[in-house]
Amino acid sequence: MTTAPAAAPAPIPTKGTPFRGRIRGRVLVLLCFMYAISYIDRTNISTALPHITEEFGLTESAAGYVVAAFSLPYALLQVFGGTISEKAGPRRALFVITVVWGVATLWTGLAVGFWTLLAARLLLGLSEAAAFPSATQAMSRWIPRDRNGFAQGVVHSAARLGNALAPLLVAYFIAISGWRLAFFATALLSVAWGIVWFVAFRDRPEDARGITATELAELPPVETRATRPPVPWRALAKQVLPVSFVDFGYGWTLWVFLTWIPTFLSDEYDLEITAFAWFTTAVLLAGVVGDTVGGMLSDRIIHRGGNSRHARRLVLVVGLGGSLVCLLPLLVAGQSLAVATVSLALSFFFLELCNANLWAIPMDVAPQWSGTASGFMNTGFGVAGVVSPIVFGTLIEASGWQIPFAISCVLLAAAAVVAWVMDPQRLTMTDGVLEVGVPAAERDGTR
């Protein structure tokens, strides 16, 4: 393959392309429900963990291995999952994925000890590995390019809403019938969503009933959404690998929030489940706001004539740096519950400014291979999910909470530095020619 300068795209409008009155709005709503359910399924174990460890006699380290079991196949199969979704199409891919993760969630509720619980979490990670790359592939076909950040912000806000609801839902089910019922209910919800998706969604917007010529004209070029040239692996890795490192730093801290905040509040402040569930929900709700704000903020910078790469990087640095600063009070032992809750909530808000931008970058950089590129990027998050719960749990047992939080601050700082210096460039292929570089309009600040 040869390289050639990329052709300049049409300038992005001052206002974002509308969703109201468009079929893509329904697609985005469906994906919001999927993201919310997926995070309820993967994080409900955190709230149930004190009860599970008591019933099965697990140590903190063993609990960390159970949580991390999700992330091992999740990390290893991200790129593969993204490629499969591009070949099979997001309609079939997401249907199969949600049915399998529904089975895995059901299996979690039927677990009888450490090994069955571990196996259920491994299957859940295996099935969810391709979920977000497949969803990103669906968005690359249905979402106008000037709304990439907004769309990713909205769906990840739904995911964080799932995070925030999970503690309350699990606490409710535990109160009425024990922790297992929470997994049975979400398993049923997952399968139901998969059926609705398969009936309602179409891989090609052209095949959707009732779509207008106006909406089709607003979508990405046909060659982006309807064809898949061979993946330029070397060029893709060069552009996305630094983003994967940033995603690792982000993911490490996110897994701290998703895994250990209920235990932290329970241990440090001697809270009952009904109390720490509400405090955990308050912390996680800050992420719902952060996700939407982060995606809208970078898109707004672009609409006002900013460079898309600079817009994404700027929000990443602000988010990572702000999250670090807000975690600093937790490095001092003996903080009040109010200070700890506010610090955690603000830290999570800033952290979630990053999420939409991390997922928008693969759509910006490799629109024709957005599933593979987003899987490559999210491998960093998956690896963090393997390492973070185990290392964090081991350090808690050895030294308490301050050192694990300090390590999180160091990783946030490193990720912020890489985010500022990285320079991912767009890849497109036309007639077998790989085009690498920044379009002239983008260099001039119009995109």
Which tokens in the block code for residue 251?
């993911």
User: What pLDDT, on a 0 to 100 scale, did the predictor assign at position 317?
Assistant: 95
Helix (H, G, I), strand (E, B) or coil at 377: helix
What's the pTM value of the predicted model, to 2 decimals? 0.74
Nearest residue to 224 (alpha-carbon basis) of 302, 298, 299, 148: 148
Q: Rounded to an integer, what distance in angstroms lies between the CA atom of residue 427 and that of residue 239?
A: 9
**Amino acid sitting at position 305:** G
If 0-12 CB within 10 Å is exposed, 13-18 middle and 19+ buried, where does residue 77 land? buried
User: What pLDDT, on a 0 to 100 scale, did the predictor assign at position 306?
Assistant: 64
User: What pLDDT, on a 0 to 100 scale, did the predictor assign at position 236?
Assistant: 87
User: What pLDDT, on a 0 to 100 scale, did the predictor assign at position 162?
Assistant: 82
Q: Give the containing element (helix H, strand E) for 427.
A: strand 427-430
Q: Please report, to the nearest 10 degrees, the dihedral formed by the alpha carbons of residues 62, 63, 69, 72 taken in order.
A: -80
Nearest residue to 97 (alpha-carbon basis) of 135, 153, 46: 135
Answer for the pair 165, 281: CB distance below 8 angstroms, yes or no: yes
Q: Rounded to an integer, what distance in angstroms lies between the CA atom of residue 136 and that of residue 155?
A: 10
Phi, psi torsion values for 434, nearest 5 degrees: -85, 125
Please tell me the class of the 20-443 domain: mainly alpha
Q: How far is CA 254 from CA 218, 262, 412, 443, in A?
A: 35, 13, 11, 34
DSSP codes of every residue in 263-328: HHHHHHH---HHHHHHHHHHHHHHHHHHHHHHHHHHHHHHHTT--HHHHHHHHHHHHHHHHHHHHG
Phi, psi torsion values for 11, nearest 5 degrees: -60, 145
Residues with Cβ within 8 Å of residue 158, at least 6 apart in sequence: 31, 32, 33, 35, 36
Q: Give the containing element (helix H, strand E) for 4.
A: strand 3-4
**Amino acid sitting at position 382:** G
Answer for the pair 321, 305: CB distance below 8 angstroms, yes or no: no
Sequential pLDDT tens for the chain (447 residues): 444 444 444 444 456 677 887 889 899 999 999 999 988 887 778 778 778 888 888 877 787 788 778 878 887 777 777 777 777 888 999 999 999 999 999 999 898 888 999 999 999 988 888 888 888 888 888 888 778 888 888 888 888 888 778 777 887 888 888 888 888 988 999 999 999 999 999 988 888 888 888 888 888 765 555 456 788 888 888 888 999 999 999 999 988 887 778 778 877 787 776 666 778 778 888 888 888 888 888 888 877 766 777 888 899 999 999 999 999 998 887 778 889 889 999 999 999 999 888 988 888 888 778 778 888 888 888 888 778 877 887 888 788 888 888 999 999 999 999 999 998 888 877 766 777 775 433 433 333
Q: Which residue has the tokens 């196996």?
A: 119
Nearest residue to 428 (alpha-carbon basis) of 418, 438, 417: 438
User: What pLDDT, on a 0 to 100 scale, did the predictor assign at position 417?
Assistant: 96
Residues with Cβ within 8 Å of residue 351, at least 6 apart in sequence: 250, 253, 254, 257, 287, 290, 319, 320, 323
Domain ranges of the chain: 20-443
If 0-12 CB within 10 Å is exposed, 13-18 middle and 19+ buried, where does residue 16 land? middle
User: What pLDDT, on a 0 to 100 scale, did the predictor assign at position 1?
Assistant: 44
User: What pLDDT, on a 0 to 100 scale, did the predictor assign at position 320?
Assistant: 97
Which tokens in the block code for residue 116?
């069955």
Nearest residue to 227 (alpha-carbon basis) of 431, 24, 11: 431
> Which residues are 430's β-sheet partners?
433
User: What pLDDT, on a 0 to 100 scale, did the predictor assign at position 446?
Assistant: 34
User: What pLDDT, on a 0 to 100 scale, did the predictor assign at position 439?
Assistant: 42
